[in-house]
């Protein structure tokens, strides 16, 4: 598993993470907030039973801006958003998977642009 060597906020638009494997990934803040890995957003599983999350409330514009980022142990970050929301811990493993998803998504969009 890769680990971040640098975490940088870019203009309240992106969180840029430089990984020890040489990758640099820009995570859109809207994506990180919408995909927050907490139970109130994703639901949870207890004893093989899945509990769906409650209906999502509308997020204010401040909800997509970062107030602060805390390191959790040696394995994750916790983001506090400007609307006070601070649930969910983004592990290095999860952020790597999100980065892979974003790379594929961006490459697909590039392919469609070239086909036209």
Predicted pLDDT of residue 108: 83
pTM of the shown model:
0.84
Predicted pLDDT of residue 110: 66
- The per-residue pLDDT for range 30-68, each reduced to its tens digit, is 999 999 998 877 777 777 778 777 777 788 889 999 999
CA dihedral 84, 8, 39, 94 (to 10 degrees): 180
So where are the chain's domains? Answer: 4-115
Predicted pLDDT of residue 107: 86
Say if residue 11's pLDDT is above 60: yes
How is domain 4-115 classified at the CATH fold level?
NE0471 N-terminal domain-like (3.30.2020)
For 47-63, give one letter per residue: b (16+ CB within 10 A) or e.
Answer: eeeeeeeeeeeeeeeeb
């Amino acid at each position: 598993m890769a680990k971040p060597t640098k975490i940088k906020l870019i203009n309240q638009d992106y969180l840029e993470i430089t990984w020890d494997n040489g990758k640099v990934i820009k995570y859109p803040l809207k994506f990180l907030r919408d995909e927050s890995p907490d139970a109130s957003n994703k639901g949870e599983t207890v004893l093989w039973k899945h509990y769906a999350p409650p209906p999502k409330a509308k997020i204010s514009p401040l909800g997509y801006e970062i107030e602060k980022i805390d390191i959790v142990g040696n394995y994750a970050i916790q983001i506090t958003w400007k609307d006070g929301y601070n649930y969910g811990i983004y592990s290095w493993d999860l952020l790597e998977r999100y980065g892979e998803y974003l790379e594929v998504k961006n490459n697909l969009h590039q392919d469609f642009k070239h086909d036209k």
